[in-house]
């Protein structure tokens, strides 16, 4: 059969006997060998572990043991989460190499428990913040649609690996957009979950009050399948929510007729740095939902520009709190050049700055809740522009650009990034669906309906298509 690019497709093929997990895994590993040097997705590849897990999945299938849709599926973990059979580096020379040694993060353990095949650990921005420094020896993540463009961060490797079919699903983390930005830049789907929806024990922190762990895959349905596994309370994480967990695939096919869709024009659609093609792609997505029967209305999310600044201030301050002792030691130069400068900014914020940011956060959450009381989903662009250059970005531009993602880390709301087309230069564009707290099922349903009407999530980079053909010829997938 053709190499499957979705979890749902692969899961059906595994159960019908069209393919084995061993064949899928062998094909995924062959793809990694062909592509990873070019795109820099993996830090560590665990070939032997993966093949043993695939063989175990096939034995279980033969014995009638079915642990769920992820059983036998090629999968990988962002190298910020502990896994017991591979080192955890946080893409940094600073993290103690004994950190995470011999145990799984809660999310990693849950993925392992359902029989997914773990292929290794994925590249990220250093400590989920600073772009990888070429001088530090880690792979440089590159956009598979254009190798001179950024893959986005911080879950860069997960985004690249999903887009190229090295894996069919993976885990990322999101503090200011780090699941959604690489999903947008690499043209697949990524879900930032409600704060606390997925336990974070065993994940190196960036911003304690903002961090989340979320699924990254080709489709909204695939993200729902992953979330069904990783969501839910665990006492090891004091921030883990006790709210009941939905079956995120139940009702995902029920469409969006009658769904109240809000379009927040101010900031999200009228910002002077918003690229016209990115804006047009998001508005086209709104029209798809309208045509499917959604009730579309304009809304106002007041002071979203300040919400972006508050999210950044809280993130940097909390990051500095975690890294302060290492940064004050001889480890300063072990950090990448941009990482140490970004985290070091936290030393210049005062306690009053942090408190004021949190006061604004409380106010903004109240105002956002008022908006969400009248709508089910907000629709915005995910990014202000298509993927930019890999190197040489103007720091001033980066500071001035809007963030359509970090706003919702500040509120803790769930948000789904979806492929929404391509620019005139052939680069991915993305739209973001945002829901109320713990309304992941709603935005996944809306995302699935959108993807039933659009082809964007089915497109893969040319290098991935050619790799799939080579793997088929070689008989490994």
What was the pLDDT predicted at 471? 54
pLDDT bin (cut points 50, 70, 90) of residue 474 is: very low
- Given a cut of 60, whether residue 467 has pLDDT beyond it is no
pLDDT bin (cut points 50, 70, 90) of residue 40 is: very high
- Given a cut of 60, whether residue 6 has pLDDT beyond it is yes
pLDDT bin (cut points 50, 70, 90) of residue 89 is: very high
Span 472-477, average pLDDT: 50
Catalytic positions are 78, 154, 178
Mean pLDDT of the residues in the chain: 96
Span 196-208, average pLDDT: 98
* 334 within domain boundaries: yes
* 13 within domain boundaries: no
Span 56-82, average pLDDT: 98
- Given a cut of 70, whether residue 260 has pLDDT beyond it is yes
* 178 within domain boundaries: yes
Select the more confidently predicted residue: 313 or 394. Answer: 313
Q: What percent of the chain stands above pLDDT 70?
A: 97
What was the pLDDT predicted at 395? 72
* 6 within domain boundaries: no
What was the pLDDT predicted at 1? 58
Q: What is the pLDDT of residues 400-412, one digit of tens each?
A: 899 999 999 999 9
CATH assignment of the domain containing 119: 3.90.1300.10
Give the predicted TM-score (pTM) of the model: 0.97
List the Cα angle 116/120/122 in 5-degree steps.
115
- Given a cut of 90, whether residue 472 has pLDDT beyond it is no
Span 234-239, average pLDDT: 97
Q: What percent of the chain stands above pLDDT 90?
A: 93
- Given a cut of 60, whether residue 368 has pLDDT beyond it is yes
* 8 within domain boundaries: no
Span 90-116, average pLDDT: 97
Q: What is the pLDDT of residues 316-325, one digit of tens each?
A: 999 999 999 9
Q: What is the pLDDT of residues 426-445, one digit of tens each?
A: 999 999 999 999 999 999 99
Domain housing 217: 19-474
* 320 within domain boundaries: yes
What domain count does the chain have?
A: 1
- Given a cut of 90, whether residue 220 has pLDDT beyond it is yes
- Given a cut of 50, whether residue 460 has pLDDT beyond it is yes
- Given a cut of 90, whether residue 159 has pLDDT beyond it is yes
Span 55-70, average pLDDT: 98
CA atoms within 13 A on the CB side of 79: 31
* 416 within domain boundaries: yes
* 10 within domain boundaries: no
């Amino acid at each position: 059969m053709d190499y499957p690019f979705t979890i749902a497709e692969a899961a059906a093929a595994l159960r019908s006997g069209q393919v084995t997990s061993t064949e899928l895994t062998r094909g995924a590993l062959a793809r990694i060998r062909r592509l990873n040097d070019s795109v820099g997705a993996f830090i560590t590849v665990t070939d032997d572990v993966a093949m043993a897990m695939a063989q175990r999945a096939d034995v279980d299938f033969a014995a009638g043991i079915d642990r769920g849709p992820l059983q036998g599926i090629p999968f990988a973990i962002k190298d910020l989460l502990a896994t017991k059979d591979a080192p955890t580096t946080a893409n940094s020379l600073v993290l103690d190499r004994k950190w995470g040694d011999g145990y799984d993060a809660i999310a990693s353990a849950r993925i392992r428990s359902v029989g997914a095949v773990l292929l290794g650990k994925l590249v990220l921005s250093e400590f989920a913040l600073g772009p990888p420094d070429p001088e530090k020896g880690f792979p440089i993540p590159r956009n598979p649609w254009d190798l001179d463009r950024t893959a986005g961060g911080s879950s860069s490797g997960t985004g690249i690996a999903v887009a190229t079919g090295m894996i069919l699903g993976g885990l990322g983390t999101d503090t200011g957009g780090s699941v959604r930005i690489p999903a947008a830049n690499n043209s697949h789907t990524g879900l930032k979950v409600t704060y606390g929806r997925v336990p974070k024990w065993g994940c190196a922190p960036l911003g304690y009050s903002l961090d989340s762990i979320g699924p990254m895959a080709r489709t909204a349905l695939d993200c729902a399948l992953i979330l069904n596994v990783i969501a839910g309370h665990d006492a090891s994480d004091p921030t883990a929510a006790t709210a009941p967990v939905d079956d995120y695939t139940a009702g995902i096919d029920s469409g969006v007729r009658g769904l109240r869709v809000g379009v927040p024009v101010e900031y999200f659609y009228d910002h002077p740095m918003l690229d016209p093609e990115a804006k047009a792609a998001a508005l086209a997505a709104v029209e798809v939902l309208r045509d499917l029967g959604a009730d579309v209305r304009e809304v106002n999310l007041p002071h979203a520009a300040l919400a972006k600044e508050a999210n950044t201030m809280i993130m940097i301050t909390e990051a500095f709190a975690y890294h302060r002792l290492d940064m004050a030691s001889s480890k300063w130069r072990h950090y990448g050049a941009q990482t140490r400068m970004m985290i070091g900014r936290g030393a210049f914020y005062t306690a009053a700055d942090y408190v004021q940011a949190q006061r604004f956060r409380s106010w903004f959450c109240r105002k956002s809740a008022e908006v969400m009381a009248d709508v089910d989903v907000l629709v915005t662009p995910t990014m202000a522009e298509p993927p930019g250059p890999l190197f040489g970005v103007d720091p001033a531009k980066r500071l001035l650009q809007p963030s359509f993602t970090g706003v919702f880390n500040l509120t803790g709301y769930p948000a789904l990034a979806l492929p929404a087309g391509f620019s005139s230069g052939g680069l991915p564009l993305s739209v973001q669906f945002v829901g109320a707290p713990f309304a992941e099922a709603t935005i996944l349903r809306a995302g699935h309906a959108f993807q039933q009407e659009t082809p964007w999530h089915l497109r893969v980079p040319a290098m991935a298509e050619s790799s799939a053909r080579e793997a088929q010829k070689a008989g490994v997938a």
